[in-house]
Chain A
Amino acid sequence: MIAELGLAALWMAAALAALQLVAGAMGLTARGSSLGAVVRPVAVVQGLLALTAFLCLIYVFAVTDLSVKLVALNSHSMKPLIFKIAGAWGNHEGSMLLWVTVMGMAGGFVALVEKRLPEPTMLATLAGQAFVSLGFYAFLLIASNPFDRLSPVPVEGNGLNPLLQDLGLAFHPPTLYLGYVGLSIAFSFAIGALVTREVGPAFARAMRPWVLGAWIFLTIGITAGSYWAYYELGWGGWWFWDPVENASLMPWLAATALLHSASVLASRNALRAWTVMLGVVAFSMSMIGTFLVRSGILTSVHAFAVDPERGTFILGLLAINIGGALTLFALRASTVTEGERFALVSREGALVFNNVMLSAILGIVLFGTLYPLLAETMGAKVSVGPPYFNPMSALFAVPMLVVLAIGPLLRWRRDRFQRIGRALVIPAILAVAAGIALVAIGGVALLPFLGMALAAGLAWASVLPLRERNLRRTPLPVWGMVIAHFGIAVSLFGMSCESAFNVEKLVAVKVGDVTTVGPWGVKLDSIEPVAGPNWTALEARLLVRYGADGAVTRMAPQSRNFWAPPQQTSESALLTRWNGQLYTVLGGEGEDGRWQLRLWWKPFVPLIWIGGLLIALGGVLALLGRVKTDVRRLIAKDKIAYRHERKAQLRKRP
């Protein structure tokens, strides 16, 4: 019953999306302008209906209704409730439903609160949003209905991949989706602005909070995903340049570029066509990423249910949406003038440089991700990995980070290096000092070396925009920028340290044996069987000690056996100190009581994710600042309107 309700809500939402599209398009014409009035309410109701369908799906998963095919295939009655719920989006159909839900909700939210753009632009924007949604509704209803029933009803479900039965992962996909799909708003705004040719500061200011919101979720999603891969897979790595990781990185790069170019457009009315273009590209990257992952066209460690038919369907959607948007762009961009001029050495100049570098990195990641496919057309099989991605992206990231230290200090329009030169002396000294220290330590490869030296300088330079400012009166967006840039320095330092000073050891030890890894002594105290709700495990009890006289701490990595579905996973155990993490994995049992242990000492590795969270925090502060300004402006507007009304009333009095 609930499943049918969900399906009905989904059909109605699709119908309303169609209405939203038609009414929005008609509203732009002279004859149908009266239809425009229904677009906003329809967008809101469409979002709510999509949400209803999604809640219905969560419900059937929560109660393990095995007569629903999707539940039978992906869930199991013995699973903890939280993972039953997470199972709703841990599969293809459910995640596509989450996709349209987020899209519908975002469109509804925009319709509800965005009041400053000219009404025709809003109509075109919401029609664009409806057009994209409609394609995904069709995809769900025709090719991947999540509410399909199953007859006869099975006694038990298939279960969820044990690797996915983890709290971090339960919330990782929804976070990423909020980011991916949130960018659809930027896409629709770009379409709307192209249709009405209203590209200017008002457009940038309207679009910016949405991009910022999506970007925050993407940042958190990527950071969390990286940490999840790090501790759950038990490989000790935190980024593998896997197609699925790249699929999340590419929209992030585009959105980061978009944030910066939008600020140029908002403040200086420059970079008009470029900003619109990035709006289109950012969401296009979300869709391309989803396509690459879901179609199974690229081999990845993330094995999603792969289906070429679905791949063809998504490709069709992509071709229509992105191809259409880019055609519109090509037709209209020549009528959008580039706007204000600026000198090479200026804030705009630095931001343009940032944009070019980010776009170059985006191109490199996209090319590297697609290259195996390209090579195959020529009959060669290759896989592209860190040896390509690391140096190639560093080639552009390093100059970008240098400019990142300088750019925020420059003035808009025109500036001189001499004016800010003195402020940059300390960061330069810090970078050189870090470099000298690393040479003294010796044996550090070029990229980690550059990374650490740059991080040292950048950490200082990133807070320089606060100098000569009254900290209490500093606007929140400036705080946001400073914290996000500082987060980049922190994360960069963590990455470089990890790759330069990581110590790895694989040993076979008997119970009672002591081994060492880096500064740690590790003793295998005992091996105990333990049981969880749907697994049993062998747990190694380790006693570890930092240095010669550190306190002894217990660690307990496990080798887990799940029984539904039967699968073995290794649960790593991590111990965090201020200067790094000890990472332990229990392998199999050898002969005569020897156990394999895989041990890593990773200096400063947590800084990678702390930096990521700081970057996201910077985004949150900037967003709060923007929203605060908007709310103030609205209140001021209301006050003025109220005064006018009062005056009019007074005049009427005899």
Chain B
Amino acid sequence: MTETNAAKPRRWVIWLPLVLFLGFVVLVMFGLFRPADRNVASQLVGKPMPQFSLPPALPGRPGLDSKLLTNGKPHLVNIFASWCVPCRVEAPQLEALAKAGVPIEGISVRDTTEALQGFLEENGDPYQRIGADDDGQVQLALGSSGVPETYVIDGKGKIVYQHIGEIRPEQLGLIMNKLQEASE
């Protein structure tokens, strides 16, 4: 049985809490005075789309394979879900883009066939293909932090732009510009 040492603590140990606390103060000072920027940008912008292959989310509609995105044309990949309210808000904008001839691919996150069908019947259906991402793995691989999010992909499958949150009517021009950029 060893006697534990009950001697005085060493001098530098005594100052350690204060040093740690000062570190904390410096850290939060930085946090307080930094420019406020709450956007979470994917680290993948400018990089190729990760490889994935998603099963069809609806009967009669093909699922989504990342290989299909490298056919030389720019694509819009939209992450959405029937349970997501902002997705309803952006649906008219997606419809408008689809009517303008933009190919839109969907990734539906944690959804069911019935709910998805209902959502599309109610809000319009701009998607060429819809892949079912039932456990959110592809969403994670894409570095997306929520739904909806939209990616502009160029013809070689490189991610050109990531749009976080719903696409608002006034942002249609922005999306079209990014698509233009992607096709150059």
Q: Which residues of A contact B (CB under 8 A)?
A: 270, 273, 277, 280-281, 284, 288, 291-292, 295, 297-299, 308, 311-312, 315, 318-319, 322-323, 326-327, 329-330, 333-334, 337-345, 349, 352, 370, 373-374, 376-377, 381, 414, 506-508, 587-588, 590-592, 594, 596
Q: What's the Cα separation between A327 and B115 when bound, in Å?
A: 61
Which residue on B lies nearest to A327, using beta carbons?
B18
Residues of chain B having any CB pair with chain A under 8 Å: 1-4, 6-9, 11, 14-15, 17-18, 21-22, 24-25, 27-34, 38, 40-41, 82-83, 85, 110, 112, 114-115, 118-119, 121-122
CB–CB A344/B18 < 8 A: no
Residues in A whose Cβ lies below 8 Å from that of B38: 299
- Which A residue sits closest to B2, measured CB to CB? A344
Closest A residue to B40 by beta carbon equals A381
Q: A318-B25, A344-B2, A596-B83 are in contact. Are A297 and B31 (CB under 8 A)?
A: yes
A315 and B18 contact, Cβ closer than 8 Å, known pairs A338-B8, A344-B1: no
| Interfacial chain A residues near B30, Cβ < 8 Å | 373, 377
In the bound assembly, the distance between CA atoms of A465 and B22 in angstroms comes to 43
20 A–B contact pairs at CB < 8 A? A281-B17, A292-B28, A311-B32, A315-B28, A318-B25, A319-B25, A323-B22, A330-B17, A334-B8, A338-B7, A342-B6, A343-B1, A343-B2, A373-B28, A373-B31, A376-B34, A377-B30, A508-B114, A592-B118, A596-B115
CB distance from A253 to the nearest CB of B (A): 16
| Complex-state Cα separation, A284 to B18, whole angstroms | 12
Say which residue of A329, A373, A506, A591 sits within 8 Å of B112 (CB atoms).
A506
Minimum CB distance partner of B43 in chain A: A380
Q: CB distance B6 to A594 under 8 Å?
A: no
Q: Which residues of A contact B22 (CB under 8 A)?
A: 323
Docked CA distance A281–B16 (Å):
13
Point out the residue from A311, A414, A506 that lies within 8 Å of B1, measured CB to CB.
A414
Number of A-B contacts (CB under 8 A): 110
Q: Known interface pairs A323-B21, A338-B7. Does A590 touch B31 (Cβ–Cβ under 8 Å)? A: no
The answer to whether B27 touches A373, judged by C-beta atoms less than 8 angstroms apart, is yes
Min C-beta distance of B152 to chain A, whole Å = 21
Given contacts A292-B28, A333-B9, A377-B30, 7 further A-B contacts (CB under 8 A): A291-B28, A295-B28, A334-B9, A344-B4, A370-B27, A508-B115, A594-B114
Q: Is chain B's interface secondary structure helix, strand, loop, or mixed overall? A: helix
Q: Are A506 and B24 in contact (CB under 8 A)?
A: no
How many Å from the CB of B84 to the closest CB on chain A? 10
Contact A329 B21 (CB under 8 A): no
B1 touches A587 (CB 8 A): no
| B19 CB, nearest partner CB in chain A, Å | 9
A381 contacts which chain B residues (CB < 8 A)?
40-41
| A591 touching B21 in the complex, CB below 8 Å, given contacts A338-B6, A341-B6, A376-B31 | no
| Chain B residues, Cβ within 8 Å of A318 | 25
Given A343-B2, A381-B41; A297-B18 close (CB under 8 Å): no
Using A587-B83, A596-B115 as known contacts, say yes or no to A334 and B11 having CB atoms under 8 A apart.
yes
Residues of the A chain whose Cβ atoms lie less than 8 Å from the Cβ of B29: 315
With both beta carbons as reference points, the residue of chain A lying nearest to B122 in the complex is identified as A591
Complex Cα spacing A353 to B83, Å? 48
Q: Which 4 A-B pairs have the closest CB atoms?
A: A590-B118, A326-B18, A297-B31, A341-B6
Q: Report the minimum CB–CB distance from B151 to chain A (whole Å).
A: 18
Most buried by B among A292, A299, A506: A506
Q: Give CA–CA (A594, B83) in the complex, Å.
A: 13
Residues of B within 8 A of A297 (CB): 28, 31-32
Smallest CB separation, B27 vs chain A (Å) = 6
Provide the residues of chain A in CB contact with B121, threshold 8 Å: 591
Residues from chain B with Cβ under 8 Å of A298 in the complex = 31
A587–B110 Cα gap in the complex (Å)? Answer: 15
Q: In angstroms, how far is the closest chain B Cβ from the Cβ of A140? A: 20
User: B14 to chain A: closest CB distance in Å?
Assistant: 5
Find chain A residues with CB under 8 A from B14 CB: 273, 329-330, 333-334
Chain B residues with Cβ below 8 Å from A507 are 112, 114
Minimal beta-carbon separation of A275 from chain B (angstroms)? 13
